[in-house]
Each structure stands twice: as structure tokens, then as C-alpha cells.
Amino acid sequence: MKNKLALLQIFKPELRTPVIVSLVLTLMTALTVATYINFAQPQLPIFYSLSDAQQVLQPKIWFFLLPGASLIISLITMIMIVIFDSTANSMLKLYTWASVSSQAVLLMAALRIVYITH
């Protein structure tokens, strides 16, 4: 466990908190989807904001799009932090917290789909 936490040492101390929050949100989204997928209907309202009713319902495998997008956001954020290490801290903090907020939206979308279909 100590070695895994040592990986966070590559980030600046002021960026560790949003990176940890980002990883926790990704894990929560993945756990939500993984636990609900077994109980889900064959088709879920993944794209429930579309106007065409036929495109709203999708096979439940599309539900994995949400944790996949959250994981991609986490990875891109961590890569960008390492690449742009010399950039001003305020810009990197703004970028990391913006990615955390987008992951929070993905988690809320997953929870809403579970709430609607349960």
C-alpha cells in the first residue's frame, strides 16, 4: 500500500488532493456501474436527453461508457500534470479541479440512470 501511495509523490503537493479525488470518483463510478450492470434491464436510457425516443434506449453495455470516460479523464489529467510541470500552479490546479468536476458529473449521470431504471 505504501508503494502505491508513493506514486502520488510525482505530483506537486498542492495537486495531490484533486488527483486523489479524481481517482476516487473514477473508482466510485466504476463500482456503481459494475454492481448495477447485473441487475439492469437489457436496455438503459443512456442518452436520455436526445429528442428521438428510439435513440434514448441503448444496450446496457453502453453503461460502461461512463466509467470509461472517467478513467480517460483521470489518465489525461495525470499525464498533463506531468508534462506541464513547469506551468503555473494556478493553471494546473484549475485544470485538475475542472476534470474532477467533470468526473463528478459522470458519477451523477450514472447514479441518475440507476435511479431511473431501478
Supply the range of the domain harboring residue 58: 18-117
Question: According to the model, what pLDDT value does residue 105 have?
Answer: 95
Number of domains present in the structure of the chain: 1
pTM for the whole structure: 0.84
69 falls within a domain: yes
**8 Å CB contact between 50 and 80:** no
102 falls within a domain: yes
Residues 61-97 have pLDDT tens digits of 888 989 999 999 999 998 988 888 877 888 888 999 9
Please list, in sequence order, all residues whose beta carbon lies within 8 angstroms of the beta carbon of residue 91, skipping any fewer than 6 positions away. 84
